[in-house]
Amino acid sequence: MLALAALWLQDVIVPYSMPFWGLFDNQLDLDVYRAGAQTVLDGKKLYDVKLLGQMDYTYAPISIPFFIPFALMSFDEARIVWSVGILVALYLVIMLSFRSLGRPPSWRLRTIAVSLVAIVMLLEPVRTTIWYGQINVFLMLLILVDLTRDDDSRLRGVGTGLAAGIKMTPLIFGLYLVIVGRWRAVAGLAAGFVGSIVLGFVIMPKAALKFWTARIFDSNRVGSPQSVGNQSLRGWLANITDTDTPSTTIWLVLVLAASGIGMYAAYLAHHRGNELLALTMVGMTGCAVSPMSWGHHWVWFVPLTVIGVDLLLRADTSTRRRLLVAAGLVAMLLAAFSWRTHYDHAIWFVLRSVPDGYMIGLFFKTGIGWLQWFTIFPYGPIFAVSAVATIIVYRPVRVGPDTPERSGVGGRR
């Protein structure tokens, strides 16, 4: 019933049949991926041309082989395959998350997972991922498959290295692996990352040289810091101070603080056996400290949702804790919900003029001035509360003069 209600509510936010603004009726970023692949097939310089008239290609050369099959399809065919792929990836992320939490697959669990796919589609990061045709869900799935495998796996870390070779932000998982002392996985990540760079030079030497020596340092190619929807600490600072050049010193202080709290929470969760929570905290930390994080980068809310649902389903969860978890899930849903802001006049949206606009996300709600510190960066508080709650639950507690003990619940059973 909740899944059906979620699908109905999705249609209320913006009707599925709404031209351009409907859930499956844009896929601009997928079109950019296709245009980048087509540029390479045509023998042109990938990082010197404007795709679709004004867009830059921002991923590393190793990504191009993955997009070539979509360039060979028509756009309508490509977006159907891509959208179905996102839905399947969401289902796999949810099932993998439950497995990491110690739940064996069953038909009941699969039914819950399908329902959760419909529910998490109401979150702005997921809805926008589908609407833009973004890649982040696939990268998250690759990282989770890679880093939730057994510690003795020789390939552990390689998939995350490949993800970092496509899009740099997964490199933060390397820092996490160092902190928790998973040196074999660190070596695997380094091998996957370096291997992806080398392979990029093999297949596209000139483009690879330009990307790794010049384009990688130009964060403005992704977007300006003050862009609405930049859900990073730098974006928050730029928007709260109304400038495109926020203080680097203040930003770095915020980055150090966020990295410290996020990584400490991940460290505690790891040592209590809750690897899924640890990886989720690392993923959210990466979004917070990155110079540019669009709302759709925060797809790590999906495993965070699974963690909450798992706690609610456990028989050994106390009533008090169940109420706190339920309240936390509701708060996260409200903060990350696909809130709609409708502009009933013509606007210019990226590449075209449209008669009206349906902007999605709480960060477009700027009417309450004293609350803008929150509304322009609602994902920051979700990250902060999640990190603090993890630290409180898993903090070391001494029960005797020489006996350290940790409190908390969760993790692989």
Widest CA span in the chain: 71
Rg (CA), the chain: 21
How is residue 81 written in tokens? 């395959």
Q: For residues 277 and 287, give the distance between their C-alpha atoms in angstroms, rounded to a whole number.
A: 15
Nearest CA to 120 out of 87, 83, 84 is that of 87
Number of H helices, E strands in the chain: 18, 6
In the chain, which stretches have pLDDT less than 70?
217-222, 398-413
Q: For residues 374 and 339, give the distance between their C-alpha atoms in angstroms, rounded to a whole number.
A: 14
Residues near 289 by Cβ (< 8 Å), separated by ≥ 6? 172, 232, 233, 255, 258, 259, 262
Nearest CA to 336 out of 365, 367, 314 is that of 365
Q: For residues 54 and 364, give the distance between their C-alpha atoms in angstroms, rounded to a whole number.
A: 24
pTM metric for this prediction = 0.93
The separation between CA 287 and the C-alpha centre of its own chain, rounded to angstroms, equals 7
CA distances in angstroms from 52 to 70, 154, 165, listed in the order given:
16, 42, 24
How is residue 164 written in tokens? 């970092």
* Residue 291: per-residue pLDDT: 92
- If DSSP codes are grouped into helix, strand and coil, which group holds residue 268? helix
What is the amino acid identity at position 239? N
181-205 pLDDT, tens per residue? 999 999 999 999 999 999 999 999 9
Q: For residues 277 and 387, give the distance between their C-alpha atoms in angstroms, rounded to a whole number.
A: 10
* Residue 151: per-residue pLDDT: 76
Nearest CA to 306 out of 93, 128, 138, 144 is that of 93
Helix %, strand %, coil % for the chain, to 5?
65, 5, 30
SS (H, E, C) 73-106: CCHHHHHHHHHHHHHHHHHHHHHHHHHHCCCCCC
Q: For residues 195 and 366, give the distance between their C-alpha atoms in angstroms, rounded to a whole number.
A: 45
Nearest CA to 379 out of 285, 310, 303, 314 is that of 285
* Residue 255: per-residue pLDDT: 97
Alpha-carbon dihedral sign for residues 130, 170, 375, 118: positive
Nearest CA to 411 out of 262, 266, 302 is that of 266
